Amino acid sequence: MPWKSLLKLPDFGLFRQTADFRLSVSTLRINGILPSRGDVQVQAENLATQVRCHKLDSVVEDISTDRGVISFKVNRKLLFSSTVMKTTISTDEKFGLNSELLNTLKRGTTLVEYSSPNIAKKFHAGHLRSTIIGNFIANLKQTLGNNVIRMNYLGDWGMQFGLLGAGFGQFGSEEKLKQNPLQHLFEVYVRMNKEAEHNEDMKQAARDFFKQLEQHESQAVSLWQQFRQITVDEYQHIYKRLGVHFDIYSGESFHQDQAQEVVQQLQSQGLLKTSEKGTGVVDLSPAGDMNSVCTVLRSDGTTLYITRDIAAAIDRKEKYNFDEMIYVLLFSRDINIDCRCQHVPFGLVQGMSTRTGEVVFLEDVLDEARARMLHNMSQAKTTKEMDNPEDTAEKVGISALLVQDFRGPLLSDYRFDWDRMLQAQGDTGVFLQYTHARLCRSVLKYCYATTFDPSLLLEQTSMTILQHLLRYDEVLYQSAQDLQPKHLVNFLLKLCHLTASAHRELLVKGSPPDVAQVEKKLHQHAILNN
C-alpha cells in the first residue's frame, strides 16, 4: 500500500492545531505492516522514535503520539517555498510540471483523433462529448511535453453522399444553399432518404452517384467538394466557440484509393472471400467456418467505412510515426495495428433539451447556455457592470457545460440538467469561474511584494490549501494514466471550496501588514493554479 494512502489530514479533534498529518497504527496493523498484537501506543512511540532517528529530511518539524496515532507537524517555511514561492506573477514557469513523478512519463508523438462529425449536416449535439473529451486529452498530452497532432477525421465519404448527391439533383436549390447551407443539405438528405425507402429508382440513383464519386467523375466530385468546404467552414465557427482547434482535417475521402489497395492486399494474401450476396468479406471466425465475417467490399465493388478506416490507420502510422494514437469515439472501431493504438470510449448524455423542445444541433445548446447564463447574471445582485456581458455569459456557460460533463467517469451516462449546471454555488463551472474572477479582482492586482514570512501562516486553512496544491502533479499523472478529466476538474473544484474558506478565515483587510502580505501571496497562488 502506498504510504500516501495511509496518511490522513487531521480531523477537527485533538490534533487540529498541532498536526498537519497523522498516521494511525491501527491502519498499519490492519494492512499487515505492523504486528497485530501489542499495545498500539507503544507501537506508535517506537515507530515515531525510528522516524526521528532517521531524520529523512527537513520537511517534518515535530512528531508526537497519542492513543496509537502519530502526528506530524510540517515545516511551514519549506512547504510554502515548495508551492507558493515557485510561482510568481512575473514568471512563465508552469507550476507542478517539473516533478519527479511527471518525469517518469514517456513522451513522444501523440495523435489524437476526436470530434469526427459527418459533413453536409449541422453539428449534432451527439458529437459534443467526443469533441471536448478529445480536446482535453490533446491539451493534457501537450502540457505534459508530448508532440501532439490534433486530427478531425470527418465522415465525408460513403453511401450517404450518394443519397445527398442524387437528392440535390432532384430537390436541391442553389439559392437555399447560399442562404442556409447546412440546413438545406439536411432537408435534401432527409427527403431523399425517405423517397429511397419506397422508390427503387431513387435508391439506384444514389448508388450510381456514389460510384461516380469512387471513379472520380468530375461533376460528382465538384459537388461533393462544395458540400465538404461548406461544412468545414460552418464547423470551425462552432469549434472556435468551444476553444477547440485541429492541426489536420482528414476524412474517409483521403483514403478511398488506399482502401482499394487494402482490398488488393487482402486478396493477394488469400484473406478476401466472396459471400453468397456477392460482397467481399474477411473471415474472422476462429474455426474458419465464416460464422463471423467483416464486410470490406460491396457487391458493386465500392468500399465501406471499415475498409477506409483500416487504410487511414496504416497511412497515419507511416506518415506520422506516432508513439501512440488515441481514438476518442463512442464506439470502438476494433482496429488494432499494434499496442500504440488506444480507444477512449464514453457514455451518452441523456435529457438534453432547450425551451423550444428536443435539441438536435450543438449550436442550439451553446446558444441556450449563453442565454440562460445571461439571464442569471441579470438577476444576480452581485453581478458587476461589464463591457460585454454576452461574451462573459458565453464563456461561463461553456465552462459550466464542460465541468458538468467532466466531473464523472467518461464511460458513465449522465443526465443533462440546465438548472444544476448553471448554479453559482456547488461543484459547477460557474462556481469555478466565479472563484477565479473574485481572486483576480480582489487579490491579484494588489499583490506585488516578493518578501514575506511564511511562518506567520498558522491557520489550518492555509496548510490545507498548500497540501492540496502539492497534489497537482499527482492529479496530472493520474489523468495521464487513464485519460479521465474528472481528476483535474475535481481537484480544481476542491481548490475553489478551500479558497472560499480562506476568504472567510484568512482576512487580508485588518490584519497586521506582514500577515496580510503572506496571506495575499497564498490567495495569489490559488489564482495561478485555478
Each residue of 356-385: pLDDT tens digit?
A: 555 578 888 899 899 999 988 888 766 667
User: How large is the average pLDDT for residues 341-346?
Assistant: 90
Collect contacts of 415-418 with beta carbons under 8 A, ≥24 apart: 415/350, 415/351, 416/349, 416/350, 416/351, 416/352, 416/353, 417/351, 418/368, 418/372
DSSP notation for 299-350: TTS-B-HHHHHHHHHHHHHHHH--SEEEEE-SS-----SSTTEEEE----EE
Domain residue ranges of the chain, discontinuous segments joined by +:
2-74, 156-245, 381-529
- The least confident of 165-169, 217-221, 330-334 is 330-334
Sheet-wide strand order for 69-74: 7-8, 21-24, 69-74, 60-66
Please write the tens of the pLDDT for every residue from 391-417.
889 999 999 999 999 999 999 888 888
Question: Which pLDDT score, from 0 to 100, does residue 493 have?
Answer: 94
Per-residue buried b or exposed e for 279-312, using 16+ beta carbons within 10 Å of the residue's own CB: bbbbbeeeeeeeeeeeebbbeeebbbebbbbbbb
Closest-CA residue to 239 (of 164, 316, 131, 154): 131
Q: Are 258 and 315 in contact (CB under 8 A)?
A: yes
Specify the higher pLDDT residue, 221 or 500: 221
User: How large is the average pLDDT for residues 324-350?
Assistant: 77
For residue 385, the 8-state DSSP code is: P
Please write the tens of the pLDDT for every residue from 488-517.
999 999 999 998 887 777 666 556 666 666
Q: Are 323 and 106 in contact (CB under 8 A)?
A: yes
CA dist 207 and 194 (Å) reads 15
The pairing of strands 272-274 and 21-24 is unpaired
H helices, E strands: number in the chain? 20, 16
Question: Which pLDDT score, from 0 to 100, does residue 513 have?
Answer: 62
Residue 7: pLDDT band with limits 50, 70, 90: very low
Say if residue 449's pLDDT is above 90: no
Say if residue 479's pLDDT is above 70: yes
CA dist 119 and 318 (Å) reads 26
Angle made by CA atoms 499, 443, 515, in degrees to the nearest 5: 80
**What fold characterizes domain 381-529?**
Isoleucyl-tRNA Synthetase; Domain 1 (1.10.730)
Helix (H, G, I), strand (E, B), or coil: what is residue 87?
A: coil
Residue 107: pLDDT band with limits 50, 70, 90: very high
Question: Which pLDDT score, from 0 to 100, does residue 1 have?
Answer: 34
CA dist 373 and 507 (Å) reads 31
Say if residue 478's pLDDT is above 80: yes
CB atoms near residue 243 (< 10 Å): 13
Q: What is the mean pLDDT of the chain?
A: 82
- The least confident of 55-64, 65-74, 169-178, 303-312 is 55-64
The pairing of strands 109-113 and 147-154 is parallel
Please write the tens of the pLDDT for every residue from 263-274.
999 999 988 998
For residue 147, the 8-state DSSP code is: E
User: How large is the average pLDDT for residues 304-328?
Assistant: 90
Q: Give catalytic residues, as residue numbers.
A: 121, 124, 127
- The least confident of 147-156, 217-226, 281-290, 458-467 is 458-467
> Helix crossing, 218-242 with 159-171: angle to 10°?
100
Question: Which pLDDT score, from 0 to 100, does residue 6 have?
Answer: 36
Question: Which pLDDT score, from 0 to 100, does residue 331 have?
Answer: 65
CA dist 254 and 349 (Å) reads 31
Closest-CA residue to 342 (of 330, 324, 329): 324
Please write the tens of the pLDDT for every residue from 12-30.
333 334 577 788 888 888 8
The pairing of strands 109-113 and 324-328 is parallel
